[in-house]
Amino acid sequence: MSFIQTEKLPGRQRNRAVKDYSAQRFGRLVAIELVERSPSRDHKWRFACDCGGALVTSIRSVRSGHTSSCGCVHKEGLVKRNSTHGLSRSFPREYRSWKDMRARCTRKSSKDYAGYGARGIRVCARWDDFAAFLEDMGECPHGCTIDRIDVNGGYSPENCRWAPAKIQANNKRSNARLTIDGETRTLQQWCDHYGVEHSKVRWRLAQGWALEKVFSAEDFRRPSG
Protein backbone atom coordinates (compact mmCIF):
# COMPACT_ATOMS: atom_id res chain seq x y z
CA MET A 1 0.00 0.00 0.00
CA SER A 2 1.38 3.39 -1.00
CA PHE A 3 0.57 6.68 0.72
CA ILE A 4 -0.30 10.25 -0.26
CA GLN A 5 1.21 13.20 1.53
CA THR A 6 -1.17 16.17 1.91
CA GLU A 7 -1.22 19.42 3.82
CA LYS A 8 -1.56 19.11 7.58
CA LEU A 9 -5.11 19.41 8.89
CA PRO A 10 -5.79 22.46 11.07
CA GLY A 11 -5.24 21.80 14.77
CA ARG A 12 -3.18 18.65 14.20
CA GLN A 13 0.39 18.40 15.40
CA ARG A 14 1.36 15.62 13.06
CA ASN A 15 0.76 15.33 9.35
CA ARG A 16 0.21 11.66 8.70
CA ALA A 17 0.17 10.38 5.15
CA VAL A 18 -3.10 9.06 3.70
CA LYS A 19 -3.43 5.61 2.23
CA ASP A 20 -3.49 5.72 -1.54
CA TYR A 21 -6.44 3.79 -3.02
CA SER A 22 -5.86 5.01 -6.57
CA ALA A 23 -6.89 2.46 -9.25
CA GLN A 24 -8.36 0.05 -6.67
CA ARG A 25 -11.75 -1.44 -7.50
CA PHE A 26 -14.77 -1.56 -5.18
CA GLY A 27 -17.69 -3.22 -6.95
CA ARG A 28 -18.33 -1.15 -10.06
CA LEU A 29 -16.27 1.74 -8.73
CA VAL A 30 -12.58 2.46 -9.33
CA ALA A 31 -10.83 5.04 -7.12
CA ILE A 32 -9.45 7.99 -9.12
CA GLU A 33 -8.21 10.65 -6.70
CA LEU A 34 -8.38 11.89 -3.13
CA VAL A 35 -10.77 14.85 -2.95
CA GLU A 36 -11.00 15.74 0.72
CA ARG A 37 -9.07 14.64 3.76
CA SER A 38 -11.11 14.00 6.92
CA PRO A 39 -10.00 14.23 10.59
CA SER A 40 -11.86 10.94 11.17
CA ARG A 41 -9.89 9.29 8.36
CA ASP A 42 -13.11 8.79 6.40
CA HIS A 43 -11.59 10.63 3.46
CA LYS A 44 -13.58 11.58 0.36
CA TRP A 45 -12.51 10.08 -2.95
CA ARG A 46 -13.63 10.51 -6.52
CA PHE A 47 -14.60 7.23 -8.20
CA ALA A 48 -15.26 6.28 -11.81
CA CYS A 49 -18.14 3.84 -12.34
CA ASP A 50 -18.21 1.06 -14.93
CA CYS A 51 -21.37 2.59 -16.41
CA GLY A 52 -19.45 5.77 -17.27
CA GLY A 53 -20.70 7.79 -14.32
CA ALA A 54 -18.70 9.31 -11.47
CA LEU A 55 -19.17 9.62 -7.72
CA VAL A 56 -17.54 11.39 -4.79
CA THR A 57 -18.04 9.52 -1.55
CA SER A 58 -16.18 8.36 1.56
CA ILE A 59 -13.61 5.59 1.34
CA ARG A 60 -15.23 3.92 4.33
CA SER A 61 -18.52 3.62 2.46
CA VAL A 62 -17.01 1.78 -0.50
CA ARG A 63 -14.67 -0.38 1.56
CA SER A 64 -17.59 -1.61 3.67
CA GLY A 65 -19.56 -2.49 0.53
CA HIS A 66 -22.35 -0.04 1.39
CA THR A 67 -21.65 1.82 -1.86
CA SER A 68 -20.66 -0.22 -4.92
CA SER A 69 -21.78 1.96 -7.83
CA CYS A 70 -22.64 5.53 -8.74
CA GLY A 71 -26.31 4.64 -8.27
CA CYS A 72 -26.73 2.77 -11.54
CA VAL A 73 -27.31 -0.58 -9.81
CA HIS A 74 -30.33 0.85 -8.00
CA LYS A 75 -31.67 2.37 -11.22
CA GLU A 76 -31.24 -0.90 -13.10
CA GLY A 77 -33.13 -2.69 -10.34
CA LEU A 78 -36.02 -0.25 -10.63
CA VAL A 79 -36.14 -0.70 -14.40
CA LYS A 80 -36.09 -4.48 -14.03
CA ARG A 81 -38.86 -4.48 -11.41
CA ASN A 82 -41.01 -2.16 -13.50
CA SER A 83 -40.40 -4.35 -16.54
CA THR A 84 -41.41 -7.48 -14.61
CA HIS A 85 -44.57 -5.84 -13.29
CA GLY A 86 -45.45 -4.76 -16.82
CA LEU A 87 -45.04 -8.30 -18.10
CA SER A 88 -47.03 -9.70 -15.19
CA ARG A 89 -50.00 -7.57 -16.18
CA SER A 90 -49.73 -8.61 -19.83
CA PHE A 91 -49.18 -12.32 -19.09
CA PRO A 92 -51.00 -13.03 -15.81
CA ARG A 93 -51.31 -16.83 -16.27
CA GLU A 94 -47.64 -17.23 -17.08
CA TYR A 95 -46.67 -14.95 -14.19
CA ARG A 96 -48.79 -16.97 -11.75
CA SER A 97 -47.18 -20.21 -12.95
CA TRP A 98 -43.74 -18.64 -12.50
CA LYS A 99 -44.51 -17.42 -8.97
CA ASP A 100 -46.09 -20.73 -7.90
CA MET A 101 -43.15 -22.69 -9.37
CA ARG A 102 -40.64 -20.65 -7.37
CA ALA A 103 -42.74 -20.78 -4.20
CA ARG A 104 -43.01 -24.57 -4.07
CA CYS A 105 -39.26 -24.90 -4.63
CA THR A 106 -38.01 -22.22 -2.23
CA ARG A 107 -40.69 -21.31 0.32
CA LYS A 108 -40.95 -23.77 3.21
CA SER A 109 -44.36 -22.35 4.12
CA SER A 110 -45.76 -23.45 0.75
CA LYS A 111 -48.19 -26.37 0.98
CA ASP A 112 -46.35 -28.02 -1.93
CA TYR A 113 -42.80 -27.53 -0.60
CA ALA A 114 -42.54 -31.12 0.72
CA GLY A 115 -42.97 -32.55 -2.78
CA TYR A 116 -40.60 -30.09 -4.46
CA GLY A 117 -38.04 -28.00 -2.57
CA ALA A 118 -37.74 -30.48 0.29
CA ARG A 119 -36.76 -33.26 -2.10
CA GLY A 120 -34.26 -31.18 -4.04
CA ILE A 121 -36.32 -29.82 -6.94
CA ARG A 122 -34.81 -26.47 -7.94
CA VAL A 123 -35.50 -23.66 -10.40
CA CYS A 124 -32.61 -22.85 -12.73
CA ALA A 125 -30.82 -19.54 -12.12
CA ARG A 126 -31.93 -18.14 -15.48
CA TRP A 127 -35.55 -18.37 -14.40
CA ASP A 128 -34.99 -16.07 -11.43
CA ASP A 129 -36.03 -13.49 -14.04
CA PHE A 130 -39.66 -13.70 -15.19
CA ALA A 131 -38.77 -12.15 -18.55
CA ALA A 132 -36.31 -15.00 -19.23
CA PHE A 133 -38.91 -17.59 -18.16
CA LEU A 134 -41.47 -16.07 -20.55
CA GLU A 135 -38.92 -15.97 -23.38
CA ASP A 136 -38.10 -19.66 -22.94
CA MET A 137 -41.61 -21.01 -22.32
CA GLY A 138 -43.72 -18.68 -24.45
CA GLU A 139 -47.40 -18.09 -23.79
CA CYS A 140 -49.32 -20.77 -21.92
CA PRO A 141 -51.93 -22.48 -24.14
CA HIS A 142 -55.47 -22.60 -22.81
CA GLY A 143 -56.03 -25.46 -20.37
CA CYS A 144 -52.32 -26.03 -19.75
CA THR A 145 -49.92 -25.51 -16.87
CA ILE A 146 -46.18 -25.97 -16.50
CA ASP A 147 -45.01 -29.59 -16.48
CA ARG A 148 -41.60 -31.19 -15.90
CA ILE A 149 -40.77 -33.89 -18.44
CA ASP A 150 -38.53 -35.66 -15.92
CA VAL A 151 -40.52 -35.56 -12.67
CA ASN A 152 -37.31 -35.97 -10.68
CA GLY A 153 -35.56 -33.12 -12.50
CA GLY A 154 -35.67 -29.41 -11.83
CA TYR A 155 -37.39 -26.53 -13.56
CA SER A 156 -35.37 -25.47 -16.60
CA PRO A 157 -35.96 -24.80 -20.32
CA GLU A 158 -34.76 -28.30 -21.20
CA ASN A 159 -37.09 -30.06 -18.75
CA CYS A 160 -40.31 -28.04 -18.92
CA ARG A 161 -43.30 -27.67 -21.20
CA TRP A 162 -46.86 -26.38 -21.11
CA ALA A 163 -49.09 -29.44 -20.83
CA PRO A 164 -52.80 -30.18 -20.28
CA ALA A 165 -53.98 -31.89 -17.11
CA LYS A 166 -54.29 -35.32 -18.72
CA ILE A 167 -50.63 -35.42 -19.80
CA GLN A 168 -49.54 -34.19 -16.39
CA ALA A 169 -51.67 -36.82 -14.69
CA ASN A 170 -49.81 -39.49 -16.65
CA ASN A 171 -46.50 -37.97 -15.58
CA LYS A 172 -46.98 -38.06 -11.81
CA ARG A 173 -44.49 -39.93 -9.63
CA SER A 174 -47.39 -41.59 -7.79
CA ASN A 175 -48.87 -43.13 -10.94
CA ALA A 176 -49.31 -46.89 -11.07
CA ARG A 177 -47.47 -48.36 -14.05
CA LEU A 178 -48.21 -51.68 -15.71
CA THR A 179 -46.10 -53.69 -18.13
CA ILE A 180 -47.97 -55.59 -20.85
CA ASP A 181 -46.09 -57.50 -23.56
CA GLY A 182 -42.87 -55.79 -22.55
CA GLU A 183 -44.29 -52.23 -22.76
CA THR A 184 -44.72 -50.11 -19.64
CA ARG A 185 -47.40 -47.43 -19.44
CA THR A 186 -49.38 -45.68 -16.74
CA LEU A 187 -52.76 -47.10 -15.83
CA GLN A 188 -54.53 -44.19 -17.52
CA GLN A 189 -52.52 -44.69 -20.70
CA TRP A 190 -53.49 -48.35 -20.86
CA CYS A 191 -57.15 -47.38 -20.25
CA ASP A 192 -56.96 -44.97 -23.17
CA HIS A 193 -55.24 -47.59 -25.32
CA TYR A 194 -57.90 -50.27 -24.75
CA GLY A 195 -60.86 -47.88 -24.44
CA VAL A 196 -61.87 -49.05 -20.98
CA GLU A 197 -63.00 -46.70 -18.21
CA HIS A 198 -60.36 -45.95 -15.60
CA SER A 199 -62.74 -46.57 -12.67
CA LYS A 200 -63.72 -49.97 -14.08
CA VAL A 201 -60.08 -51.02 -14.48
CA ARG A 202 -59.21 -49.95 -10.94
CA TRP A 203 -62.15 -51.96 -9.58
CA ARG A 204 -61.07 -55.04 -11.53
CA LEU A 205 -57.51 -54.75 -10.29
CA ALA A 206 -58.76 -54.40 -6.71
CA GLN A 207 -60.82 -57.58 -7.17
CA GLY A 208 -57.71 -59.44 -8.28
CA TRP A 209 -58.71 -60.03 -11.87
CA ALA A 210 -56.08 -61.47 -14.18
CA LEU A 211 -54.32 -58.80 -16.24
CA GLU A 212 -55.55 -60.17 -19.57
CA LYS A 213 -59.15 -59.66 -18.36
CA VAL A 214 -58.68 -56.27 -16.68
CA PHE A 215 -58.70 -54.33 -19.96
CA SER A 216 -61.27 -56.50 -21.72
CA ALA A 217 -64.53 -54.99 -22.93
CA GLU A 218 -66.27 -58.17 -21.75
CA ASP A 219 -67.68 -58.17 -18.22
CA PHE A 220 -66.48 -61.47 -16.79
CA ARG A 221 -68.74 -61.12 -13.77
CA ARG A 222 -71.69 -62.18 -15.94
CA PRO A 223 -72.09 -65.68 -17.31
CA SER A 224 -71.45 -65.87 -21.05
CA GLY A 225 -73.68 -67.58 -23.58
Which among 125, 109, 126, 129 has a CA at the least distance from the CA of 117? 109
pLDDT value at residue 224: 43
C-alpha separations of 36 from 29, 65, 189, 204 in Å: 18, 20, 76, 88
pLDDT value at residue 128: 92
What is the per-residue pLDDT across 26-41, written as a single tens digit (0 to 9) for each? Answer: 999 999 999 988 887 7
pTM: 0.45
What is the per-residue pLDDT across 82-113, written as a single tens digit (0 to 9) for each? Answer: 666 678 888 999 999 999 999 999 999 999 89
Q: By the 8 A CB rule, do 60 and 45 touch?
A: no
